[in-house]
Amino acid sequence: MSSSNTDNRPLSPHISIYRPQVTSVLSILHRITGIGLGVSLLFIVWWFFAAASSAEYFNFVSSILLSPPLKFIFLISIWAIWYHTLTGLRHLIWDAGFGFEMSWVKVSAWLIVGASFFFTALTLFIQVDL
Protein backbone atom coordinates (compact mmCIF):
# COMPACT_ATOMS: atom_id res chain seq x y z
CA MET A 1 0.00 0.00 0.00
CA SER A 2 1.32 3.39 -0.90
CA SER A 3 -1.03 5.27 1.40
CA SER A 4 0.69 7.56 3.84
CA ASN A 5 -0.38 9.27 7.04
CA THR A 6 -1.70 6.15 8.78
CA ASP A 7 0.43 6.34 11.96
CA ASN A 8 -0.16 9.62 13.70
CA ARG A 9 -3.79 10.30 13.06
CA PRO A 10 -5.86 11.15 16.14
CA LEU A 11 -8.04 8.25 17.24
CA SER A 12 -11.49 8.65 18.73
CA PRO A 13 -12.96 7.71 21.13
CA HIS A 14 -10.07 7.32 23.56
CA ILE A 15 -11.59 4.34 25.31
CA SER A 16 -9.44 4.57 28.48
CA ILE A 17 -10.52 8.13 29.25
CA TYR A 18 -14.06 7.79 27.90
CA ARG A 19 -16.77 8.36 30.53
CA PRO A 20 -18.82 5.15 30.86
CA GLN A 21 -22.46 5.63 29.86
CA VAL A 22 -25.32 3.17 30.15
CA THR A 23 -25.37 2.91 26.33
CA SER A 24 -21.66 2.19 25.89
CA VAL A 25 -21.47 -0.21 28.86
CA LEU A 26 -24.46 -2.22 27.60
CA SER A 27 -22.98 -2.32 24.11
CA ILE A 28 -19.63 -3.75 25.24
CA LEU A 29 -21.39 -6.15 27.65
CA HIS A 30 -23.37 -7.49 24.66
CA ARG A 31 -20.09 -8.48 23.03
CA ILE A 32 -18.53 -9.82 26.25
CA THR A 33 -21.60 -11.97 27.03
CA GLY A 34 -21.58 -13.19 23.42
CA ILE A 35 -17.97 -14.36 23.71
CA GLY A 36 -18.63 -15.84 27.16
CA LEU A 37 -21.66 -17.77 25.93
CA GLY A 38 -19.42 -19.25 23.24
CA VAL A 39 -17.33 -20.74 26.06
CA SER A 40 -20.45 -22.11 27.83
CA LEU A 41 -21.49 -23.65 24.52
CA LEU A 42 -18.22 -25.63 24.45
CA PHE A 43 -19.20 -27.26 27.75
CA ILE A 44 -22.68 -28.09 26.39
CA VAL A 45 -21.18 -29.70 23.28
CA TRP A 46 -18.76 -31.64 25.52
CA TRP A 47 -21.81 -32.83 27.50
CA PHE A 48 -23.60 -34.02 24.33
CA PHE A 49 -20.39 -35.66 23.11
CA ALA A 50 -20.12 -37.51 26.43
CA ALA A 51 -23.77 -38.59 26.30
CA ALA A 52 -23.10 -40.04 22.83
CA SER A 53 -19.97 -41.87 24.06
CA SER A 54 -20.30 -44.17 27.09
CA ALA A 55 -21.87 -44.18 30.55
CA GLU A 56 -18.44 -44.06 32.23
CA TYR A 57 -17.23 -41.09 30.19
CA PHE A 58 -20.58 -39.33 30.72
CA ASN A 59 -20.29 -39.76 34.51
CA PHE A 60 -16.77 -38.33 34.39
CA VAL A 61 -17.84 -35.28 32.34
CA SER A 62 -20.99 -34.85 34.44
CA SER A 63 -18.96 -34.78 37.67
CA ILE A 64 -16.79 -31.99 36.21
CA LEU A 65 -19.76 -29.98 34.89
CA LEU A 66 -21.58 -30.26 38.22
CA SER A 67 -18.56 -29.13 40.28
CA PRO A 68 -19.03 -25.81 42.15
CA PRO A 69 -16.81 -23.63 39.88
CA LEU A 70 -18.62 -24.80 36.74
CA LYS A 71 -22.03 -24.51 38.37
CA PHE A 72 -21.07 -20.90 39.07
CA ILE A 73 -20.11 -20.43 35.40
CA PHE A 74 -23.49 -21.87 34.33
CA LEU A 75 -25.31 -19.53 36.74
CA ILE A 76 -23.54 -16.55 35.13
CA SER A 77 -24.33 -18.06 31.70
CA ILE A 78 -28.07 -18.11 32.47
CA TRP A 79 -27.89 -14.40 33.24
CA ALA A 80 -25.71 -13.84 30.14
CA ILE A 81 -28.10 -15.65 27.79
CA TRP A 82 -31.01 -13.51 29.03
CA TYR A 83 -28.98 -10.34 28.82
CA HIS A 84 -27.65 -11.13 25.34
CA THR A 85 -31.13 -12.12 24.10
CA LEU A 86 -32.75 -8.95 25.45
CA THR A 87 -30.07 -6.59 24.11
CA GLY A 88 -30.17 -8.55 20.85
CA LEU A 89 -33.92 -7.95 20.63
CA ARG A 90 -33.28 -4.25 21.21
CA HIS A 91 -30.79 -4.30 18.35
CA LEU A 92 -33.42 -5.91 16.10
CA ILE A 93 -35.90 -3.17 17.06
CA TRP A 94 -33.27 -0.55 16.18
CA ASP A 95 -32.57 -2.32 12.88
CA ALA A 96 -36.29 -2.15 12.08
CA GLY A 97 -35.94 1.62 12.44
CA PHE A 98 -37.55 2.21 15.84
CA GLY A 99 -36.45 3.45 19.23
CA PHE A 100 -33.60 5.83 18.51
CA GLU A 101 -34.82 8.58 20.85
CA MET A 102 -32.24 9.08 23.64
CA SER A 103 -34.97 8.94 26.30
CA TRP A 104 -36.18 5.51 25.10
CA VAL A 105 -32.61 4.24 24.67
CA LYS A 106 -31.81 4.98 28.32
CA VAL A 107 -35.11 3.63 29.69
CA SER A 108 -34.87 0.41 27.66
CA ALA A 109 -31.25 -0.03 28.75
CA TRP A 110 -32.18 -0.02 32.44
CA LEU A 111 -35.25 -2.15 31.74
CA ILE A 112 -32.96 -4.76 30.17
CA VAL A 113 -30.62 -4.73 33.17
CA GLY A 114 -33.57 -5.31 35.51
CA ALA A 115 -35.28 -7.86 33.27
CA SER A 116 -32.08 -9.89 32.81
CA PHE A 117 -31.86 -10.47 36.59
CA PHE A 118 -35.60 -11.08 36.91
CA PHE A 119 -35.64 -13.71 34.13
CA THR A 120 -32.49 -15.35 35.58
CA ALA A 121 -34.31 -15.88 38.87
CA LEU A 122 -37.41 -17.06 36.99
CA THR A 123 -35.34 -19.59 34.99
CA LEU A 124 -33.98 -21.11 38.19
CA PHE A 125 -37.51 -21.66 39.54
CA ILE A 126 -39.42 -22.63 36.40
CA GLN A 127 -38.22 -25.62 34.44
CA VAL A 128 -40.02 -26.78 31.31
CA ASP A 129 -40.11 -30.32 30.01
CA LEU A 130 -40.96 -30.76 26.34
Partner 1 sequence: MDFRTDRSKVSGFGSAKDGTDHWWQQRLSSLALVPLTLVFVFQLIPQFGMNQSEIVELYRNPMRAILTILFLGVTFTHLQQGLQVVIEDYIHGKKNKIVLVVLNIFFCWGIGLIGIFSVIKIVFSF
Residue 3 interacting with partner 1 (CB under 8 A): yes
Residue 2 interacting with partner 1 (CB under 8 A): yes
- Site mask, partner 1, residues 28-67, x = CB under 8 A? ---x--xx-xx--xx-xx-xxxxxx-xx--xx--x--xx-
Query: Kindly report the CA angle at 94 between 119 and 122, in degrees rounded to 5?
Result: 5
Helix, strand, coil fractions of the chain, as percent rounded to 5: 75, 0, 25
Q: What's the CA gap between 51 and 62, in Å, rounded?
A: 9
If the CB atoms of residues 51 and 107 are measured against partner 1, the closer one turns out to be 51
Q: Find all residues with CB under 8 Å of 99, minimum gap 6, and list them.
A: 90, 93, 105, 108
**Residues at the site binding partner 1, with contacts judged by CB under 8 A:** 1-3, 31, 34-35, 37-38, 41-42, 44-45, 47-52, 54-55, 58-59, 62, 65-66, 74, 78, 81, 85, 88-89, 91-92, 95, 123-124, 126-130
